[in-house]
């Protein structure tokens, strides 16, 4: 982990402007935080809070998972690379097709209703039935049963070595209400915080659950306020309008590293950049074209120039700290070989295409896209940039209405199945690439119960994805977080889903003049 702290004067003029903007969202919270003795933590996440539904079409969004985990509990949680008990205090695998989870008997929802196995069953079945982006993780599950009030049995159609990682993203709500259309606008969960307010794409507010089975939070109030522009986010941090922000682009770090009141940390993560080819469209149906475009890119220089110590050159299609990751042979920067491969594929003079990415991802992805396009231009490939609003980008991404797609992703469970098994099968059809051999490898890896066997199979799958150049995987990212030094007890997990149950704040919030 890298940490830095120094000092520089605040930009008070801009701070005053931000104070007015945030006050419009926050009402009288500043007065209560500074003068009333409440412990209030204000977080400016890097991704907008688009939904509070952890089962539906936006369930894989990092912003959804980061916020929902404070309101609802999963069966288990990933901590330091290991799965630890949450709602399930223990579990066993009595045979190859059966997993039994024993629930805590002291958990209640925020309205006082006991949480039982029926709630787990209903939540799992809803996630599967909605067929959202997390549903493929449940492929192979034959049934979820409530054996008694505190015992859940998951039966599988074939052996599944991914059950524990899968249930780490099963957030449990009350069985009799989760199907209601308006429930997820104000969800009732069992987590350490209680819902208070939700303005989609803007703000989420929650208060401490004093009766939380895991112990009441240190904080009285937790607020997430989305500030789209990174410069405005960092100014809000410096002036004390927010206490913590995530996803700080490395090129922005110098602007806050001189402030003695701010801590900047970079830690290992499961997050990475990748660029997919739409392998169902010409000319990307030919692997030589895909390989040529990779050889045309000087990845080492791009990472060093744009990201510095905040990223490392990727050695596989998933970050190296993820279970099942393996180190692949790098694609050498070789423009001449790129031209040769293009000529062999029938494009001696290159071609024209388009590259899309989500605007909300900020200036860093824009710089990366522009750099990639300049490298491709040198071998005759002209690329039209398509920076899209996130909602439109998601629609086009899912409809395969694109040529090249650039984005980040985070392996939410820390397991290769979350990314490889969910995104690279023929059935998933997320990028137009379909390989029966890859499907067989991923199914075998998902089915294997022995971790070493699973890791070997994922290595073979990753090699196929890499050698076929299903995408370009330039770099693995660190978790870049900045927070005011009044924040105590904060640690960013590798999956990037920051938790605030055990975080506290000291002193008064900074005043803005």
Q: pLDDT 10s per residue in the chain (513 long)?
A: 555 543 333 333 333 334 434 444 444 444 444 445 889 999 999 888 889 999 998 888 888 999 999 999 999 999 988 999 999 999 999 999 999 999 999 999 999 999 999 999 999 999 999 999 999 999 999 999 999 999 999 999 999 999 999 999 999 999 999 999 899 999 999 999 999 999 998 999 999 999 999 999 999 999 999 998 888 999 999 999 999 999 888 778 888 888 999 999 989 999 999 999 999 999 999 999 999 999 999 999 999 999 888 899 999 999 999 999 999 999 999 999 999 999 999 999 999 999 999 987 777 899 999 999 999 999 999 999 999 998 899 999 999 999 999 999 999 999 999 999 999 999 999 999 999 999 999 999 999 999 999 999 999 999 999 999 999 999 999 999 999 999 999 999 999 899 999 999 997 665 543
**Separation between Cα atoms, residue 157 and residue 142, nearest integer Å:** 5
CB 478 within 8 A of CB 268: yes
The pair of structure tokens assigned to 319 is: 């970050």
Tell me which residue of 302, 328, 268 sits closest to 406, measured CA to CA: 302
Q: Which residue has the tokens 């899209």?
A: 388
**Separation between Cα atoms, residue 411 and residue 445, nearest integer Å:** 16
**Separation between Cα atoms, residue 110 and residue 398, nearest integer Å:** 36
C-alpha distance across the termini of the chain, in Å: 34
Rounded to whole angstroms, what are the CA distances from 170 to 36, 87, 167, 453? 37, 10, 5, 26
Q: E strand or H helix at 233, and its extent?
A: helix 230-239
The 8-class DSSP code of residue 331 comes to: P
CB 198 within 8 A of CB 48: no
| Per-residue model confidence (pLDDT) at position 173 | 98
CB 278 within 8 A of CB 432: yes
Tell me which residue of 445, 414, 420, 423 sits closest to 158, measured CA to CA: 445
**Residue 68's Cα: distance from chain center in Å?**
13
Residue 69 DSSP SS3: coil
| Per-residue model confidence (pLDDT) at position 252 | 80
CB 3 within 8 A of CB 10: no
| Per-residue model confidence (pLDDT) at position 22 | 43
Number of neighbours of residue 453 by Cβ within 10 angstroms = 14
**Residue 239's Cα: distance from chain center in Å?**
28
**Separation between Cα atoms, residue 207 and residue 154, nearest integer Å:** 33
For each of the domains in the chain, give its residue range(s) and CATH number, in order of start: 2-53+191-261+488-505 (3.40.190.10), 72-167 (3.90.76.10), 268-477 (3.10.105.10)
**Residue 400's Cα: distance from chain center in Å?**
21
Residue 308 DSSP SS3: helix
The pair of structure tokens assigned to 411 is: 């392996």
The pair of structure tokens assigned to 122 is: 């209903």
Confidence (pTM): 0.87
| Per-residue model confidence (pLDDT) at position 39 | 95
């Amino acid at each position: 982990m890298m940490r830095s702290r120094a000092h520089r004067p605040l930009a008070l003029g801009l701070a005053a402007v931000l104070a007015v903007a945030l006050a419009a969202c926050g009402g009288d919270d500043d007065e209560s935080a500074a003068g009333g003795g409440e412990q209030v933590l204000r977080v400016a996440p890097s991704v907008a809070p688009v939904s509070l539904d952890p089962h539906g079409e936006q369930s894989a969004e990092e912003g959804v998972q980061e916020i929902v985990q404070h309101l609802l509990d999963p069966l288990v949680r990933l901590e330091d690379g290991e799965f630890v008990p949450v709602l399930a205090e223990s579990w066993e695998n009595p045979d190859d097709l059966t997993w039994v989870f024993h629930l805590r008997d002291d958990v209640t929802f925020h309205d006082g209703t006991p949480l039982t196995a029926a709630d787990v069953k209903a939540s799992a079945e809803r996630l599967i039935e909605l067929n959202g982006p997390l549903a493929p993780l449940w492929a192979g599950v034959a049934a979820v049963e409530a054996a008694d009030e505190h015992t859940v049995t998951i039966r599988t159609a074939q052996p599944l070595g991914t059950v524990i990682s899968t249930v780490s993203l099963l957030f449990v709500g009350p069985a009799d209400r989760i199907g209601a259309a308006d429930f997820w606008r104000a969800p009732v969960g069992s987590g350490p915080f209680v819902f208070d307010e939700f303005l989609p794409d803007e703000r989420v507010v929650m208060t401490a659950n004093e009766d939380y089975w895991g112990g009441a939070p240190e904080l009285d109030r937790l607020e997430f306020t989305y500030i789209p522009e990174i410069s405005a986010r960092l100014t809000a941090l410096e002036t004390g309008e927010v206490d913590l922000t995530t996803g700080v682009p490395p090129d922005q770090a110098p602007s806050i590293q001189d402030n003695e009141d701010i801590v900047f940390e970079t830690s290992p993560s499961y997050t990475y950049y990748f660029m997919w080819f739409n392998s169902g469209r010409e000319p990307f149906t030919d692997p030589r074209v895909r390989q040529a475009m990779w050889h045309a890119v000087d990845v080492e220089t791009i990472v060093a120039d744009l990201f510095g110590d905040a990223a490392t050159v990727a050695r596989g299609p998933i970050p190296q700290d993820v279970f099942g990751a393996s180190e692949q042979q790098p694609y050498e920067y070789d423009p001449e070989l790129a031209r040769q491969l293009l000529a062999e594929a029938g494009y001696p003079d290159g071609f024209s295409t388009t590259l899309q990415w989500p605007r909300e991802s900020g200036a860093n992805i824009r710089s990366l896209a522009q750099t990639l396009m300049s490298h491709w231009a040198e071998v005759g490939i002209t690329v039209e940039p398509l920076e899209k609003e996130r909602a439109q980008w998601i629609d086009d991404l899912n409809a395969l209405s694109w040529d090249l797609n650039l984005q980040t992703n985070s392996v939410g469970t820390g397991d290769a199945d979350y990314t490889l098994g969910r995104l690279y099968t023929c059935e998933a059809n997320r990028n137009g690439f379909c390989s029966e051999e890859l499907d067989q490898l991923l199914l075998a890896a998902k089915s294997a119960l022995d971790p070493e066997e699973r890791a070997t199979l994922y290595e073979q799958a990753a090699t196929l994805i890499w050698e076929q150049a299903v995408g370009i995987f330039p770099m693995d990212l660190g978790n870049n977080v900045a927070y005011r030094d009044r924040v105590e007890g904060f640690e960013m997990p590798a999956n990037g889903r920051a938790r605030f149950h055990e975080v506290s704040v000291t002193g008064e919030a900074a005043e803005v003049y």
